[in-house]
Amino acid sequence: MTLRLFCTPGTAVSAVAIAPEEAERPYDTVLVNFARGQQAGAAYARINPKGRVPALATDNGVLTEATAILEFVADTNPAALLRPESPLAMARMREAMSDLASTVHVNHDHKKRGRRWADHPGSLEDMTAMVPQTMAASAAHLQAHCLHGPDVLGSNFSLADIHLFVICTWLERDSPRVGEFPALAAFMARMETRASVAAVRAAGLLL
């Protein structure tokens, strides 16, 4: 099966490419240019009508949503052991990923995408101004409750580490207090030593 990942450098979720790298699974990338508004254009609407990245084109159609794409890579590459075995550990992994997608990512989006939820310039400014605070709270939560050791699952690499890594690449830009989270900083440094992350960085998908 050929895999084609539609992504945008610097949008952290595009780094879901780390998953096929971990699985040593070849894939192509197609860059969606946000500066030119390509994500909202008619051509990309045929790929992902939600107008977002990432999207993964497979032989069986296009998949969207970072969590679904990550799980798909794990399902199609079982030998890569990207998920734990026990149901409880699996639920912990998914708990972290849902938290990242539905709370932390959403907090971040209030910096520049406030127009999704409000119209007046004053509201948009108000939202943007609160982002350092919400992202610092998110970082504190992730460090205290999402990291169960050096990795999300303790000392067992999983999809949740990929997701946490990609979301945390924003923290430094969103919150001036990121230095206060040494366990998260150590997690990020460890991730940077993985060949998968180096490959995605070399491909220019991380800023």
Partner 1 sequence: MQLYYAPGTIAVATAIALEEAGLDYEAVRIDFAAKEQAGAAYAQINPKGRVPALAVDGGILTETPALLEYIAELAPEKRLMPDGIIDRARMREVISYLASTMHVNHAHKLRGARWATKPASYKDMKAKVPQTMTASCDFICRQGLRGPFVLGEAFSIADCHLYTICTWLEGDGVALADYPKLQTFMAAMEARDSVRAVRAKGML
Ligand X SMILES: N[C@@H](CCC(=O)N[C@@H](CS)C(=O)NCC(=O)O)C(=O)O
Residue of 98, 141, 145, 180 interacting with ligand X (CB under 6 A): 98
DSSP state, residue 53:
S
Residues 6+ positions from 125 with CB-CB distance below 8 Å: none
In 3-state terms, what secondary structure has residue 41?
Answer: coil
Residue of 8, 11, 17, 105 interacting with partner 1 (CB under 8 A): 105
CB nearer to partner 1: pick between 68 and 207 = 68
123 binds partner 1 (CB under 8 A): yes
Do 165 and 197 contact (CB within 8 A), yes or no?
yes
Residue of 17, 23, 52, 157 interacting with ligand X (CB under 6 A): 52
Q: How far apart are the first and last CA of the chain?
A: 29
Q: Which of 27, 12, 32 is nearest to 59 (CA)?
A: 27
143 binds partner 1 (CB under 8 A): no
Assigned token pair, 161 = 């580490």
Q: Please choose which of partner 1, ligand X, none residue 80 contacts, taking the beta carbon within 5 to 8 angstroms, the exact cut-off set by kind.
A: none
Shortest Cβ 31–partner 1 spacing (Å): 22
What span, in angstroms and rounded, lies between the C-alpha atoms of 81 and 195? 16
How many other CB atoms are there within 10 angstroms of residue 20's CB atom?
A: 23
Residue of 51, 128, 140, 201 interacting with ligand X (CB under 6 A): 51
Q: Please choose which of ligand X, partner 1, none residue 75 contacts, taking the beta carbon within 5 to 8 angstroms, the exact cut-off set by kind.
A: partner 1
Shortest Cβ 62–ligand X spacing (Å): 13
Which residues sit at the interface with ligand X, rule CB under 6 A?
Answer: 11-13, 39-40, 51-54, 65-66, 98, 101-102, 105, 113
